[in-house]
Amino acid sequence: MKNYNIAIIGCTGAVWVEMIKCLENLKIPISQLKLWASPRSTGKIVETFMWNIEIKEVNEDFFENIDYALFSAGWEKSKKYIPIAVDKWVVCIDNSSYFRYDENIPLVVPQINWDTIWNSKIIANPNCTTAIAAVVLNPIYKKYGIKKIIMSTYQATSWGWAKAMAELEGNTQKYFSWEKATIEQFVDNIAFNVIPHIDKFQENWYTKEEMKVVWETQKIFWDNNIDISCTCVRIPTFRAHSESIVLETEKNVDIEDIKNILENAPWVDLVDDIENNKYPMPLYASGKNNVEVGRIRKNLVFGDKWIELFISWDQLLRGAALNAVEILEVCINNLKK
């Protein structure tokens, strides 16, 4: 098997560390691994599973002889450097939102629509809230169809930056010391609080984070007829997001059949034993590749085609790093360069 030259762009957040672990765990055949971060991190030596690597600064020569590049540096860096990489025949897997809504660029969850990649040089990784919901909803969609989705998210502070988690920890300590909270990474104090505001508000009064769920779910399922409403909330936990999902199916549902479908779905763990207080929780979903799903029941308000469920997952893994590396794996195994 051929070994590949891989680059990771954006080695200052939380996702890139998980990307390296995923490269190791999925046994991606690597000949060379190059790392890029902001100038303040240039020259830092990083210990990896293969060798120690010096973080480099991006320039015109950075992408020479690179086969695949994993971008996790924000949309500005993706906008600037992905065209440079593509000109050098690098396949770019982008974790930012910059290319997600371009109709000519595939938005991929490998378990659902890997075949949309074709020979694309740019492949977009979905927002974590979308990717995880899609993994759970896909087997339901294939058997029962989905007409409407009402979603509420409970999103941890590890959304990309260690600074955000540090702010939660610091403000928690300050709370008990009667000190004034530091507010830098969030719009308000995150300690002992929930903030129903993630990303910028749009003209329709939804936030961009909420609209990402709408735009991206419809694109991944190739179905603009799915009506979606979402409320995204930041909560004071370190890692792993959760979602409460209410959905209307095309056909009448059988709850036991839904449970059976999800129990046998790839990358999904059914955790739904209410007699023993077993249900998805971020504390136990952290560090897991699979999505936990439970609290599955018929909705009491809307009728026989409506069900409710609750999911938790590690957004740094299944919602970001792991999804990106699995896209890379698909490219290597099915779309040989």
How far apart CA 78 and CA 81 sit, in angstroms, is 5
- In the prediction, which pLDDT does 54 show? 79
Give me the residue label for tokens 């059976």: 260
DSSP label of 278: B
Helix 128-144 vs helix 208-220: angle between axes, to the nearest 10 degrees? 40
pLDDT per residue of the chain (337 residues) written in tens, 0 to 9: 689 999 999 887 778 888 999 999 999 999 999 888 877 777 777 777 878 887 887 777 889 999 999 998 888 999 999 999 999 999 999 999 999 999 999 999 998 999 999 889 999 999 999 999 999 999 999 999 999 999 999 999 986 567 888 999 999 999 999 999 999 999 999 999 999 999 999 999 999 999 999 999 999 999 999 999 999 999 999 989 999 999 999 999 999 999 999 999 989 999 999 999 999 999 999 989 999 999 999 999 998 899 999 999 998 888 789 999 999 999 998 754 4
The H or E element containing residue 69 is strand 68-71
- In the prediction, which pLDDT does 335 show? 58
Q: How many CA atoms lie within 13 A of 36 on its CB side?
A: 22
Tokens standing for residue 23: 């490269």
- First-residue to last-residue Cα distance in the chain: 12
For the stretch 289-294, contacts whose Cβ atoms lie closer than 8 Å and that sit 24 or more positions apart, written own/partner, are 289/314, 289/317, 289/318, 289/322, 290/318, 291/132, 291/135, 291/136, 291/267, 291/318, 293/136, 293/262, 293/268, 293/269, 294/270
- In the prediction, which pLDDT does 159 show? 66
Nearest alpha carbon to residue 127 among 18, 215, 49, 204: 215
Indicate which residues carry an active-site annotation.
Answer: 128, 241
Q: Give the global pTM.
A: 0.90
CB contact at 8 A, 323 and 109: yes
How far apart CA 151 and CA 211 sit, in angstroms, is 11
- In the prediction, which pLDDT does 337 show? 45
- In the prediction, which pLDDT does 58 show? 75
Nearest alpha carbon to residue 245 among 164, 308, 330: 308
User: How far, in Å, are 131, 152, 256, 294, 319 from residue 272 at the CA level?
Assistant: 21, 19, 11, 4, 22
Which domains does the chain show, CATH number per domain? 4-125+320-334 (3.40.50.720), 130-315 (3.30.360.10)
Phi-psi region of 222 (alpha: psi -120 to 50; beta: other; left: phi over 0): left
CB neighbour burial string for 217-235, b if at least 16 within 10 angstroms, e if fewer: bbbbbeeeebebebbbebb
- In the prediction, which pLDDT does 53 show? 82
In single-letter form, the type of residue at position 73 comes to A
How far apart CA 29 and CA 5 sit, in angstroms, is 9
